Amino acid sequence: MRNADFGMRNRSDSQRFRTPHSPFRIFMISITPDSERPGGFRLRTETTIRRPVSEVFAFFSDALNLQTLTPPFLHFKVLTPAPIEMRAGALIDYQLWLRVFPIRWRTEITVWEPNVRFMDCMLRGPYRYWEHTHEFRETPEGTHMLDDVRYGVPGGALVHSLIVKRDVENIFRYRQEQLERIFC
């Protein structure tokens, strides 16, 4: 893995995991304060999937696959009727449960560059803001994928440290486990 490719630095709060089924694949997760948005946070993950970009991007192009990548404790459901045409400007509605509270979430696809990247931004949901960029790069090892999420939390740093950070880390770890199950 070449962190410099995506501008990631090794930080003390970054965690690297060698996945059990594929010893050459490394998953990295990092959550830090967002230097560009005071009071916000930035989650970054990196992983390499030993498949071509076209196959990995096609999987992520189907919004219904998000249900597979989301942990069961969230009871996540895509509400927008299928098929969902993925493009800049597409709106997607979801429902999930945070603890005992049902939450409606709406995202807009703001950037759509097939086989390169796309970005979804929360228009309505549990965060002050959520901007998630997915990047894909073909490498000799397969597809190097970066998730870069900038988000703000109601209640700020205290709520983030007590509840949200752990939940977000667990969601992205579950996502990684599901990706391994699907692509291995």
The CATH number of the domain holding residue 103 is: 3.30.530.20
pLDDT attached to residue 9: 38
Number of structural domains (the chain) is: 1
24 band by pLDDT with thresholds 50, 70 and 90: very low
Identify the weakest region by mean pLDDT among 22-36, 80-94, 135-149: 22-36
pLDDT attached to residue 27: 81
* Residue 106 counted as domain residue: yes
Whether 171 and 179 have beta carbons less than 8 Å apart is answered as no
- Give the N- to C-terminal CA distance of the chain in Å, as an integer: 18
11 band by pLDDT with thresholds 50, 70 and 90: very low
* Residue 115 counted as domain residue: yes
* Residue 93 counted as domain residue: yes
* Residue 103 counted as domain residue: yes
25 band by pLDDT with thresholds 50, 70 and 90: low
* Residue 140 counted as domain residue: yes
* Residue 57 counted as domain residue: yes
- The pTM of the full predicted model, rounded to 2 decimals, is 0.86
Give which of 64, 66, 69 is closest to 85, Cα–Cα.
64
Domain that holds residue 98: 24-162
Whether 150 and 42 have beta carbons less than 8 Å apart is answered as yes
Does the pLDDT of residue 106 top 60, yes or no? Answer: yes
* Residue 4 counted as domain residue: no
* Residue 168 counted as domain residue: no
Distance from C-alpha of 100 to C-alpha of 32, rounded to nearest angstrom? 28
Strand 129-139 and strand 142-152: the pairing is: antiparallel
- Give buried/exposed letters for 59-86 (b at 16+ CB in 10 A, else e): ebeebeebeebbbeebebebeeeeebeb
